[in-house]
Chain A
Amino acid sequence: MIGIVGYGGYVPRLRLSRQAVVQANLWYAPQFARRKGHRAMANWDEDSITMAVAAARDCLGPDDEKRRAIRSVHLASDTLPFAERLNAGVVCEALTLDEDVEARDVTGTPRAALTCLGDAVARVRAFGGDAVVLAADNRKTRAASSQELDFGDGAAAIRIGTEDVIAAFLGKGTVSVDFVDHFRLAGEDIDYHWEERWVRDEGIAKLVPRAVAAALGESGVAAEEVTRFIFPSTFARMAEQVAETCGIRPDAVVDVLENEIGETGAAHGLLLLAQTLENARPGEVIVIAQFGAGAEAVVLRVTEAVSRFRPRIGVSGWIARGVEETNYTKFLSFKGQLRLERGMRGEQDKKTALSTAYRHRKAILGLVGGRCEVTGKVYFPPSRLSIDGGGTVKDTQKPYKLAERRGRVLSWSAEQLSFHMSPPHHYGQIDFDGGGRILMEFSDIAPGDVEVGTEVEMVFRIKDFDERRGFLRYFWKATPVRGVASAPASQSGSE
């Protein structure tokens, strides 16, 4: 049997209140006055790469053994930060995967994740090993547009394999036609959208049922057998309408989380699938379909093994961790649409020496330190000589992964002096469980969240943006270990 052997998701902590957006734009766009709920909002240091890493970690867990079985990484997104530089390659480094892993970026349509899912199944079938499909989107929208309210930021991860399959892959259907409902020329930031009724009636309503019918046909499953139907759309009751056309029961339609996080683009189908699997029962038939340059649909049957897998936090867990954000200018600033005064410290050159970055890629992207085999001490960054022995203990440090370890704050401060996208700028020294110490930045944090002794975990984030040359560098940051709060807590702070 081949199919899903693990799943996970990621929803950024910030949840922008739609009413906050509405109130700011009411003078201009009164038509949105009644919009309610929240949309997930990436922090300033998050993008599709970092969110994909977060979702992958949610899916894979801390177990290094599981990562070793992965032979391919398929990253689907329409908002990859790099047009050229393998975005999935950055993800592989962050996950400390083996270097002989196949990694690919797939983009150009919201259904890219389902394309990846099919590719992953084919690859596992042909060559063995496991594959992981990652999908993430962090879209920019025009201020005071319906997309600004509809969209959300997020990511999902699905692991494909043949052992302990929790949802068997039964088949898929694809319709590829150049039906353009929205588009974005290379190099542009924001999509251009066409009239809704045309998209809905001529596009989705006609193309998606064809893909679903093809998938059901290949799977040998009748539409009535489908117990969960996943179809992400920003149009009200669109999934219900498609389900009806396809002959799928109305009660099978899965809620698209419009009120909680909004529509997360290429990630949304897999994100809803990951959440659906959290409480799916053995025997259930799941159909997931996505629209874009045609449509794609996949049919899965849940197995007994479903209860034996849990993601680290899971989509529901991430949703519950949300913190309300009511500051619309913060949203615009984080999305690069409102340039706030940066002061002289904001002029600092962030040029990256690519040779240095490459030489130290394991340490920087993988957060791999060194553990001295003689003294047991952990070093970050790793070094040639260990501290004990007065510099006589040489070349004894072996790679030692720190990203999945927790730590505690030894010292910290939060300052208002340096330019920071979300002041105050928090950083401090972290002592890792099992040894090792790093002076590092904090993220997803508000004043009062950290003190000496606070337990932290690592998140992979944008470290710096070199605006002069258009380059991003990534590193890890500390964030307080958090339980699950009621979503979204009415707390608005600096992130």
Chain B
Amino acid sequence: MANGIKDKVAIIGMGCSRFGERWDASPEDLMVEAYGEAMADAGIAPEQIGAAWFSTHMDDIGTGRGGTPMGIALRLPNIGVTRVENFCAGGSEAIRGAVYAVASGACDIALALGVEKLKDTGYGGLPMGSVGTYIPQWYPNAVAPANFAQLASAYQRKHRLDRDLLKRAIAHVSVKSHANGALNPKAHLRKPVTEEQVLAAPIVAEPLGLFDCCGVSDGAAAVIVTTPDIARGLGKKDLITFKALQVCTSNGWEMHSNEWDGSYVHTARIAAKRAYEEAGIRNPRQEISLTEVHDCFSITELVTMEDLFLSEEGSAVRDVLDGVYDADGRVPCQADGGLKCFGHPVGASGIRMLYEIYLQLSGRAGERQLPAPSLGLIHNLGGQPSQNVCSVSIVGLHRA
């Protein structure tokens, strides 16, 4: 019986580029920016890194294919660099690779870095990726907003909700994230918005309007991990360790049976259960101090609150409107602005989420610092509700 990852690996350094429309920066620039901050934070030399994991999604703008783009950009000392790609969950996947490498004892210190240069694709939203030769012959030419908007139609019907009430609840999700992002100097979108503005925005994919969709941003984020013992040997105190790393990948049940009702993300519930078990968490609503979840769209964040068992099924609308997930609420969500406002450079997002939790747990989150958080949850979702990869990670103060 496996005994999990809990407290086997600690973070010794993290870095994150400023996210946004970085017309000034190349993928290399963004990598160097995030890596530089992480290395300075860790206080180690490049030769001390034993292996690296590289997360990037788009393969047509020079950041994809193999590990060489990262190895060359960072002038890494010919260590193994593994490119991982798991849609929007790629960043969390890179973290998992680095953490598992350290936990296995195969290397002492490992690096995970994610980068995406979406603005160089020329698209206002996410570009359409290639999905092989068979799927396009029958599958809709679907875009992400409409894939996730389907959660709204099914959720609304399941819980017999008035469309306007659901619209208002998801609007609150965006208003909250904008308020948080406004306090974050590295965030892409830094203007607060009102509920009225959100509700009045043009529809992108029914019922999601412009403000229900996250930013399309450039950015990079990096994390350096090692064992708690080595971390202490490097002079690190108040360690932050991984409590759980779970990834759950669809096996097609959602689409290949008629049982899933389309109103939630099946893999998220499984990943959350496994993560709580791995971390030894019994009551997430009480024990989790803050969350960074995959709010690619406002409706995704709303149903995620139920998928993570933070809200009871059918009650996320009420909880959201009651401010449970606001910065001053019981379980703050997206203290950094989330995908919505920090931005969503696909391959970097999972690591960016960890970055915020790391800053908050270290008491280094500046203006948006939450009072004494001890345990943070990262939820990262790649693909679409009906077919996806979902990761749930938990990190916390090391109390050993």
Interface residues of A (CB under 8 A from B): 344-345, 348, 350, 352-353, 355-357, 360, 363-364, 377, 379, 381, 383, 387, 391, 410-420, 424-425, 427-429, 431, 435-441, 447, 451-453, 463-464, 473, 475
CA distance A412 to B151 in the complex (A): 8
Name the residue in A411, A435, A436 with the highest tally of chain B Cβ atoms < 10 Å from its Cβ: A411
Interface string of B154-198 (1 = CB under 8 A from A): 101100000000000000000000000000000000000000000
Q: Do residues B142 and A427 form an inter-chain contact, with CB atoms below 8 A?
A: yes
**B interface residues, tally (CB under 8 Å):** 42
For this complex, 28 residue pairs linking A to B, each with C-beta atoms less than 8 Å apart, are A344-B122, A345-B143, A352-B133, A353-B133, A356-B134, A360-B134, A377-B256, A381-B138, A387-B251, A387-B256, A387-B257, A412-B150, A412-B153, A414-B146, A415-B143, A415-B146, A415-B149, A415-B205, A417-B204, A417-B205, A429-B262, A436-B258, A439-B139, A447-B206, A453-B157, A464-B141, A475-B137, A475-B138
Return the contact of A437 from the options B153, B202, B256 (Cβ within 8 A): B256
Return the contact of B205 from the options A391, A413, A440 (Cβ within 8 A): A413
Q: Do residues A439 and B386 form an inter-chain contact, with CB atoms below 8 A?
A: yes
Q: Do residues A410 and B262 form an inter-chain contact, with CB atoms below 8 A?
A: yes
CA distance A415 to B203 in the complex (A): 8
In the complex, what residues of A have CB within 8 A of residue B208's CB? 413
Return the contact of A410 from the options B128, B133, B134, B154 (Cβ within 8 A): B154
In the complex, what residues of A have CB within 8 A of residue B128's CB? 345, 348, 418
Nearest 5 CB-CB pairings of A with B: A353-B133, A415-B205, A411-B150, A413-B149, A452-B157
Q: Do residues A427 and B386 form an inter-chain contact, with CB atoms below 8 A?
A: no
Q: Measured between C-beta atoms, what is the minimum distance from A143 to chain B in Å?
A: 29
In the complex, what residues of A have CB within 8 A of residue B142's CB? 418, 427, 439
CA distance A414 to B207 in the complex (A): 8
Interface string of B246-258 (1 = CB under 8 A from A): 0000011101111
Return the contact of B138 from the options A383, A435, A463 (Cβ within 8 A): A463
Q: Measured between C-beta atoms, what is the minimum distance from A243 to chain B in Å?
A: 49
Please report the number of residue pairs spanning A and B whose Cβ atoms sit closer than 8 angstroms. 129
Closest to A386 in B: B256
In the complex, what residues of B have CB within 8 A of residue A429's CB? 150, 255, 262, 386
CA distance A428 to B255 in the complex (A): 12
Q: A345-B128, A428-B150, A428-B153 are in contact. Are A414 and B205 (CB under 8 A)?
A: yes
CA distance A427 to B205 in the complex (A): 11
Interface of A is mostly: mixed
Interface of B is mostly: loop
Q: Do residues A463 and B258 form an inter-chain contact, with CB atoms below 8 A?
A: no
Asked if B123 is at the interface (CB within 8 A of a chain A CB), the reply is yes
Q: Do residues B145 and A377 form an inter-chain contact, with CB atoms below 8 A?
A: no
Known contacts A356-B137, A377-B256, A441-B141; 13 additional CB pairs below 8 A are A344-B123, A345-B123, A356-B134, A381-B138, A387-B252, A387-B256, A415-B204, A415-B206, A416-B203, A417-B143, A418-B128, A420-B141, A428-B153
Q: Do residues A425 and B141 form an inter-chain contact, with CB atoms below 8 A?
A: yes
CA distance A417 to B144 in the complex (A): 10
Q: Do residues B138 and A417 form an inter-chain contact, with CB atoms below 8 A?
A: no
CA distance A236 to B258 in the complex (A): 56
